[in-house]
Amino acid sequence: MDERAYNLEPSLRGALAGLVGERWVCLGFTGRIRGDVLTCPVEIATDRTVIAMSVLDNEVALGGDDEVITLVADVPLEGHLEEARRAGRIAVHGAGEVVRSVHLIREELVRIRDDVPMFRVSVDSGVVIELETVAIAIQKRGFHGFDFVLSVAPNTEQLRFHDSASEWPMNLELTCRYERVLIPCD
């Protein structure tokens, strides 16, 4: 079985882990906002750190076809946050609160044909940031997506995640097994 794992680069994972204990400022959206869909990049800002996350193209051969399995990565800041603030494209939920925890969103899908696994793909698709009274999820819009989806809730349990399995159609021959887990970022 073909297996692919696309984990966050250690530098980004380390930067996200370093947010714990810092004071939350905002999310900055430098692209466009279409409902809960955010175009890239998205900037995560605390009182000491700013991280810009984007989605990168990635064409791969999987299961006898070419797929696009996009990747989350950090990108240079280039002053986008100031631009987002000027344009009012920011989310300030929980501003001033301390970052309590950071989790990676890891999604895994096994594509199955006639009960035989064809390929397994695992992707770190975003991050959950837990503040004192607010939880924020920034998740890539599916395995193929080039945008992020934002969810904000009073706690992690109430966050609404994008249904990334829905983009893999199933029939009598082809099915899939999907799992999403949150992994402590440390």
Type of residue found at 41: P
> Under rule CB under 8 A, which residues in 63-102 are in contact with other proteins?
63-68
| Interatomic CA distance for residues 126 and 72, integer angstroms | 7
Kindly tell me which residue out of 6, 27, 28, 30 binds other proteins, with binding defined by CB under 8 A: 30
The distance from CA 99 to its chain's CA centroid, rounded to whole angstroms, is 18
Number of residues that bind other proteins (CB under 8 A): 38
Pick the stretch among 8-16, 51-59, 94-102, 122-130 that binds other proteins (CB under 8 A).
51-59
Report if residue 178 touches other proteins, rule: CB under 8 A.
Answer: no
Number of H helices, E strands in the chain: 2, 15
Report if residue 173 touches other proteins, rule: CB under 8 A.
Answer: yes
Kindly tell me which residue out of 34, 115, 157, 172 binds other proteins, with binding defined by CB under 8 A: 34
Q: How far is CA 109 from CA 70, 129, 181, in A?
A: 14, 24, 12
> Based on CB atoms, which residue is closest to other proteins, 50 or 134?
50
Report if residue 170 touches other proteins, rule: CB under 8 A.
Answer: yes
| Interatomic CA distance for residues 101 and 167, integer angstroms | 30
Query: Integer distance in angstroms from the first to the last C-alpha of the chain?
Result: 31
Strand partners, 184: 103
Q: Which residues bind other proteins (CB under 8 A)?
A: 30-32, 34-35, 37, 39-41, 54-57, 59-61, 63-68, 111, 113, 141-142, 144-147, 166-171, 173-174
